[in-house]
Structure 1
Amino acid sequence: MAAEKPEIVRKAEILIAETMCGRDASHDAAHAFRVRDVALSLAKEEALSPSSLEIVELAALLHDIGDYKYTKDLVEDTTIIEKFLKEEGLDESKREKILSIIKNMGFKNEVACASFSNSSLEFCIVQDADRLDAIGAIGVARCFVYGGSKNHVMYDPEIPPREDLTKEKYTMKDAKTTIINHFHEKLFKLKDLMKTKAGKRRAERRHKFMEDFLAEFHMEWDGRA
């Protein structure tokens, strides 16, 4: 029989379902639950201490509630998360660790060379789990779902991938790019940005799947398959 979930985790799951409903399937509640499950699995492989598991689980679950892509002003917003953790009586040190993970784990921060310094194992696990969900079969599906939700062109050989991306360029709302370009601008880079040994191992398989997918895509696009 599975162990009963802590009350704060159960409430976090309810909060996620309520606040992330209506989003496209690339960043919905199911994404948060997958990231949580992968994070806990990585934590087990990395022999994370039991005292840190709560931080990992809550950070993984809550990480996308205030995602800038879905906020009114296109800026990260952790207000709901901060309020939830405080109301649930989580001690201040854990609240600070969870919020620090969430605020610093995004790819846009790494693009800006502003990724979280002196990264804790908890941070590395949650970030790796989120990035694993961005690659592989699910990553491919999420990429097309999100691009479609923004009416992005699927592929145009006349629009090359953007190079030398800055944080501002990466988060630009009306950037001229394509769904396929996102593989080159971000997804293919994630394997080498994994921070845990467990994350690196899993990323190899998912990365290979994307390479094979894109090779097949171009063969079909060009009428060679």
Structure 2
Amino acid sequence: MYPPEPWHLRGQMYLSVFLIPRGKLPQLPPVLGAAVRPLTVGGRVAVGAAWVRYEPGGVLHYRELLSAVLVHERGRPRVSITDIWVDSVASREGGRRLWGIPKEMAAFTIDAENEPLVDATASAGEEPLASSLVRLKGRLPGRFPLGFTVAQALGESVRRTPVRGRGGLRTATAAWRPEPTGPLGYLAGRRPVLSLAITDFWLTFGRTPADRARSSPPAKGNARG
């Protein structure tokens, strides 16, 4: 029903970063909360909210809305996805079963036909989730490496998943309009401190055979005198 890991994905991302008081954040699952802590500066935590359009050329193509919290695990930075919606059953099932990513289904519009404006909306059934108007600005020269680790609760353990890739960058401004009574209501009325478009990216999401080989314990050999 879904591809095995790793997933090779291509597309466009429209990302905004908010600084949210720690007390307003959604609760992490207990097993995850015991392993990681939100990375707090002045009582505020960095939360990323993004629209993503995964395009043909990757193993799946679909649309996505997510929010994620910057956390640390004994000083090592991690990203933990708190809310996420997709319009692909394969993506939902694979994300949940492979990596513990709590994907739900939604209907989307991510309209970039009138660039530099990108108009995005998402709703789950009859309930609106959020909308955004993103204005794309300057394009930075070159392509930039992307790399981070996603930490999620998977059953009664923590799954740590590497993400690597490369993409172009454009500066942007974004007006977010989350449904105040919805799951992203803690972002309502807040302005992002930073917005970017990550353009024409490619990502490898999940462990490759080389990753698994590096993490496996060495084979025991015969002792030599």
Higher helix share: 1
Higher strand share: 2
Return the TM-score normalized by structure 2: 0.27
